[in-house]
Structure formats: structure tokens, C-alpha cells
Amino acid sequence: MDAVVIGAGAGGLCAAARLAHRGYRTLVVERLDRVGGRASTYDIDGFKVNNGAIVLELGGIMEQTFAEVGAPYDVRMPKPPLMYRIGGKTVDITGGGWGFLLSTLTRHGAKLLTGLGAAREDGGLPDAQLSLADWVGRYTKNETVHGVFRNMCASVFAVGSEELPARVFLTYFTRKSAFKRFGFAPEGTIGAMSALAGVVGLHGGEVWLNSTVRSLRVADGLVTGALVERGGGETVEVDCRFAVSDVGPVATAELCPELPEAYRADVHERAKPCGMITVNFASDRPLLEAPGLTSFGNTRRLCYVANFTATCPEMAPPGWHLYAGAGVPKPSVGAFEADAETALLMADLRDEVPGFAAARVLSIAVMRDEWPPQRAVSGFDLPSETPLPNLWNVGDAVKEYGNGGTTACAETAALVVERLAERYPAPNYS
């Protein structure tokens, strides 16, 4: 193989599809029985339940990746995509944006809008140490406004506003795509990820499921191959020109003892995985009027509820409505009490979603530690490159500043593939 890609998550598959499309013979090794990683989907009694990422951006780097490699991008945008439920009322801010929302909530809205406007100017971003919660606190003490910012922060970055630098949040909303257009995949998120995996096979590569990279082989300061244990217990040595890892810098370092000890210690020290809890539930009658995401103001933990079947009825058996309610625990970085935090999230769902008490809970997913919503808090990311020039990381631990989620994974993949293509021209197998 030219390339070994470790992990079939969003970053790994975006990288693999780009490499395969350029002519590199690519092998993707995935330890699970399906592609997607934390952007995958499981079937629970006929319901397509996502196990992590629930929406995909439209018009951004993810859709561009699919277009460039020739993969179908079946993602449907709800209209409107985002609404707010505040004080028992659902508010549609389509066309009005932050200005309409903030002016609806508080007389201090104009001050906050001034702060947002200043962030768009050169030198207008706050100090990197100031948290988002403290930045909002400069303009208002209104609890609902703080709740809106906390829940928006949690929805995009999977972290509380007390733990995210304001500079990151403001960079995202004033200088990045800000996830303005997004949608659901009718097969669940795995549908889109499977399309990328198909590109790898189309160009002569392979995707090995139920397989694990046990170690990377290094000679003369370069990765030259990987030791792979396949599902049936067979161990295979795979030669390669370079390797791309989507399992996070910490896990990558474990595969390669030849990496300098200082580097290995640094990635362990700097890794900051965060946490999220998601309740997947269904009802035989509609529970929310918003067809996409509903965000909230004053909640204990609930940051959003996704209404899948209003846009993608294929995700549930006929006559059923599928939802997911997610919340970020306190603290969102480090240890937290899962049972207590889940109880707070469930209490929010009972308060905010009429009819939730009679709904069918399909699953409760606690994402943390080795299976976090993001392996690094945005703003505290590790570099994509490693001390070995042909070993690179992609994914949500090595994001560009001020980005997050699957969009960030697609972005890291595009950047890394460009760097690799410069150093290792694609061969001609024709």
C-alpha cells in the first residue's frame, strides 16, 4: 500500500477518500464492525440511531470533499434548521440571526452585538485566556442569555462556556463557516461515511473492518509499515510509504514507541477530551414543532434536541418520530458523575419536551475518555504532524483554531493530504 489510514472515522475516511481519488493505493484499518467511528449509526429496533455526530454541514469543506472525490452527499436540510425554545415558546430566528435573538431576550442585546461586531475587526478578539462565560458576563448577567451561549457552545464544541476560550467561539462565529447550513442523512450519519469508504474501494484500496493496527514499523526515522490483526485472528504485515492516523495523537503514540519520549509525554499532557450525554428517544406522535435542531436558554444540561424524522422519515419505522437530546456535563473536561449528570439531562427533557414522559427511550450514550465527542477542546489542539515526517494525525484532536465537529475533521484531512501529496507524489499504476 501507499497509505495506511488508521481508523475509519470522519477524518480518516475524508483523508482516505482524498488519497485514493488522487491515485494512492490506500488501506483503511478500523477496529469496529462499521465505518464512521463517532460519526456512525446503529439500528435499534428499526430506528437509525447515530452514535455521535448527528448533523453534517452543507456548503462547507465536508460537502466539498464529497464533490471532489465523486461521492454522493445525501444530506437534507430542515427548514428552518435551528429554532430556540425559551420560556415555553419556540422562536424562529431565521433571517434575524443573533441580533433578533438577543434583542428578544434582553435589553442588553445591543451591547452584546457590539462585542460580536468588534470581534470581526482586526485586533478585536479577546485574550486567549478569557472564557466565553466571562466574556458574555462583561455585557450582561441575564441567565437566559448565558444559557443560550452555553448551549450554543455545547452544541458546536461539546464543551461548556466556562471551559471554552471566548476567542475560539468568536473566531468560529465571525470568521469561520459557523455551520449556517446543515442537515441530516436519511440513512443516519453512517450513510455519508459509507459513501466515502466506497471511494476507497473504487480506486483499488481496501477498508478492513474488525481489524486493529497493533504497531507501526519504523526504519531510518520513517514509518515503513503496520502490523494489523484482522478479525479472524490473522496477523498481517502491511508495507506503506506513509501513515495517517484518525485515532488521536495519544493512541497513535502508543503504536509507535520510536517516537521521542518528550513528544509522547507532551501529547499525553495536552490531550483534553470532553464529554457529552445523548438520550435517543422516539414517540408515536410528534413532540416538537421545530423540524431540525431546537436549542434552549435556561436548562440544567440540555443544549439541543434533534428532530430527525420531520426531514428524514426513513430513520424510524412508519408512524414513529425519532429524536435525540444532548447535554454537556459539568465539568465537561475531566471526571464527572455520569448518573447524576444523566438525571439532570432527563429532567430537562421532561421540562422542555411536551410528552417526553411517555416517549420510548431507545438508548442513553455517555461519550467520554476514549470515546469523547471531541478528543481535544477547541483552542487546545495538538499539531497534525509528528516527529516522524511520514506519520500524520487527522481528526478532532488536531483541529484548526476555532473549528469543531465533523467539519474540522474534513478540514484536517484536506490539509494533511495536501502536505503528503507535496512530499510523496502519487504513483502511476496505469
Mind giving me the DSSP string for 193-212?
A: HHHHHHHHHHTT-EEESS-E
Asked if the model's pLDDT at residue 305 lies above 90, the reply is: yes
Q: List pLDDT tens digits, range 5-43.
A: 999 999 999 999 999 999 999 999 999 999 999 999 999
pLDDT > 90: percent of the chain: 80
Predicted local distance difference test score (pLDDT) of residue 239:
98
Reported as a pLDDT band with limits 50, 70 and 90, residue 90 is confident
Report pTM: 0.95
Angle in degrees, CA 273, 267, 403, rounded to 5: 50
Predicted local distance difference test score (pLDDT) of residue 87:
78
Reported as a pLDDT band with limits 50, 70 and 90, residue 298 is confident
Distance CA 318, CA 259 (A): 53
Closest to 13 measured CA to CA, from 205, 253, 254, 224: 205
Predicted local distance difference test score (pLDDT) of residue 424:
96
Asked if the model's pLDDT at residue 163 lies above 80, the reply is: yes
Q: List pLDDT tens digits, range 209-261.
A: 999 999 999 999 999 999 999 988 899 999 999 999 999 999 999 999 999 99
The alpha helices in 30-96, defined as continuous H runs, are 61-69
Reported as a pLDDT band with limits 50, 70 and 90, residue 142 is confident
- Mean predicted confidence (pLDDT) in 362-369: 96
* Pairing assessment for the beta strands 3-6 and 26-29 based on DSSP bridges: parallel
**C-alpha dihedral over 151, 304, 352, 187, to 10 degrees?**
180
Do 300 and 345 form a contact (C-beta atoms < 8 A)? yes
Closest to 390 measured CA to CA, from 214, 223, 213, 218: 223
Distance CA 182, CA 162 (A): 26
Distance CA 309, CA 191 (A): 16
- Mean predicted confidence (pLDDT) in 374-396: 96
> Using omega within 30 degrees of 0 as the cis cutoff, is the peptide bond preceding 383 cis?
no
Structural domains for the chain: 3-43+56-74+187-271+376-423 (3.50.50.60), 82-175 (3.90.660.50), 273-367 (3.90.660.50)
Closest to 106 measured CA to CA, from 130, 134, 131, 87: 87
Distance CA 330, CA 120 (A): 30
Distance CA 337, CA 349 (A): 19
Q: List pLDDT tens digits, range 263-294.
A: 999 999 998 899 999 999 999 999 998 999 99
One-letter amino acid at 342 equals T
Per-residue DSSP letter, 313: G
Distances (CA, A) of 109 to 89, 113, 146, 307: 19, 6, 12, 29
Do 299 and 282 form a contact (C-beta atoms < 8 A)? no
Per-residue DSSP letter, 95: T
